[in-house]
């Protein structure tokens, strides 16, 4: 495939490396190359099969809108824009493009979502819950998109929808890649669940595989619903 990668950060750079290893042609556009959406014109996107976005929350919605106007499929790993989710879903559907997004493209994290859903039954048995997330000091959004997705998964599985049941506490420390912990506590005991990313490799592998999966497809997809098909 011909891939355009938006973002030259640590994860984006690894995505480019993985894509090349998997035999794809990839072009990278950082903030300078995409100033004012200059990398996302119809002319610049000619021949591109899919655009992968690992930028920042302040840029991602404009990037999505430009790619949709150009009729290009997208895989988006940037978080911090989910307040626009419903509007973007309608935009994708009305233009007939393909779109997959993820709070986290790591297969391990998506397995962790399943573990968290299973543990959510504790909230119906006098347990309270907390979520802790730790990331590097350069991460722009807090809480992380992954922590928000974990909270949503637990709430849906437990049938409870009270914010006080699942407070998220965020830490920004050094070069931490990403750690997410769920603590469920009752008067009798505590349950600890944890996912600790040792590197960004899992994020990059998942993002490229999601882009491959999206080839030729139309529709709006959440990676957590499709990763088993990869």
User: How far is the C-alpha of 117 from the C-alpha of 129, rounded, in Å?
Assistant: 13
* Residue 130 Rama label (left phi>0; alpha psi -120 to 50; beta): beta
Secondary structure of the chain in HEC code, one letter for each residue: CEEEEECCCHHHHHHHHHHHHCCCEEEEECCCCCHHHCCCCCCCCCCCCEEEECCCHHHHHHHHHHHHHCCCEEEECCCCCHHHHHHHHHHHHHHCCEEEECCCCCHHHHHHHHHHHHHHHHHHCCCEEEEEEEECCCCCCCCCHHHHHHHHHHHHHHCCCCHHHEEEEEEECCCCCCEEEEEEECCCCEEEEEEECCCCHHHHHHHHHHHHHHCCCCEEEEHHHHHHHC
Which residues are catalytic, by number?
Answer: 135, 139
């Amino acid at each position: 495939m011909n891939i355009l990668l938006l973002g030259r950060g640590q994860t984006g750079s690894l995505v480019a490396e993985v894509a090349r290893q998997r035999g794809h042609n990839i072009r990278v556009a950082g903030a300078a190359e995409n100033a004012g959406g200059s990398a996302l014109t119809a002319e610049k996107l000619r021949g591109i099969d899919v655009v992968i976005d690992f930028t920042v929350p302040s840029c991602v919605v404009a990037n999505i809108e430009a790619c949709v106007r150009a009729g290009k499929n997208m895989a988006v790993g940037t978080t911090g824009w989910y307040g626009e989710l419903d509007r973007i879903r309608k935009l994708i559907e009305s233009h007939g493009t393909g779109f997959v997004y993820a709070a986290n493209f790591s297969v391990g994290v998506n397995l962790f979502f399943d573990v968290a859903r299973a543990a959510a039954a504790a909230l119906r048995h006098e347990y309270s819950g907390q979520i802790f997330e730790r990331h590097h000091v350069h991460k722009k959004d807090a809480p992380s998109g992954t922590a928000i997705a974990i909270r949503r998964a637990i709430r849906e599985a437990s049938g409870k929808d009270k914010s006080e049941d699942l407070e998220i506490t965020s830490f920004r420390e050094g070069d931490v890649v990403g750690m997410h912990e769920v603590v469920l506590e009752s008067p009798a005991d505590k349950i600890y669940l944890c996912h600790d990313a040792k590197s960004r490799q899992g994020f990059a592998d998942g993002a490229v595989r999601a882009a491959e999966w999206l080839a030729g497809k139309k529709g709006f997809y959440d990676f957590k619903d499709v990763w088993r098909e990869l």
